[in-house]
Amino acid sequence: MKIFNKRARFDYKILDKIEAGIVLSGGEARAVRTGHLNLTNSFAKILGSEVYLVNANIPVPGKKDYSPTRSRKLLLHRSEIVSTATKLKAKKLTLVPISMYTTHGLIKVELGLGKSKKKFEKKELLKKKDIQRDIDRELK
């Protein structure tokens, strides 16, 4: 199961990728494996020497007093955290989750170091897609 964050590639130019583990409760892990997950407005934040995934919506059915958008800890090596923190500060980048997937029974998050796109860059991309779609339609 692989769940993508479609807004990440639209809003950011992804410069570098990092794979991280995530700390989830049992119900959350079950929800991710079944595909009940929304990463659209989420981002990652470095607090001290730890990385947290903020605002990822993982709803767990049948649980009371549960916040589906709580912050979740991401598991990275210390050297990876230090290198990403220096890149974030030096180049004014954002740490964005690109996708969440399962490998060998573990749930992983693919993070991307992204620079936000300007409004005109997004419009140009949409124009190019429309033109390409029209060309493909004509060739059929």
- Spatial contact of 91 and 52, defined as CB atoms under 8 Å apart: no
Average pLDDT over residues 71-81: 95
The reported pLDDT for the residue numbered 128 is 94
Query: Helix, strand, or coil here: 109?
Result: strand
- Spatial contact of 58 and 36, defined as CB atoms under 8 Å apart: yes
Average pLDDT over residues 17-45: 92
The reported pLDDT for the residue numbered 38 is 92
Query: How many Å apart are CA 58 and CA 131, to the nearest integer?
Result: 37
Burial class (CB in 10 A: 0-12, 13-18, 19+), 44: buried
**Structure-model confidence comparison of residues 21 and 48, the more confident one:** 21
Burial class (CB in 10 A: 0-12, 13-18, 19+), 127: exposed
The reported pLDDT for the residue numbered 140 is 85
Query: How many Å apart are CA 73 and CA 88, to the nearest integer?
Result: 18
State how many domains the chain has: 1
Query: How many Å apart are CA 47 and CA 109, to the nearest integer?
Result: 18
Q: Which domain holds residue 38?
A: 2-139
Q: Which residues neighbour 35 within 8 Å (Cβ) at sequence distance 6 or greater?
A: 1, 3
CATH at residue 33: 2.40.280.10
Quick check: 78 pLDDT over 90?
A: yes
Helix (H) or strand (E) holding 95: strand 94-103
Instruction: Output the six-digit token pair for 76.
Output: 């990275």
Quote the strand ranges of 1-140, DSSP E. 2-4, 12-22, 43-47, 50-54, 72-75, 94-103, 106-116
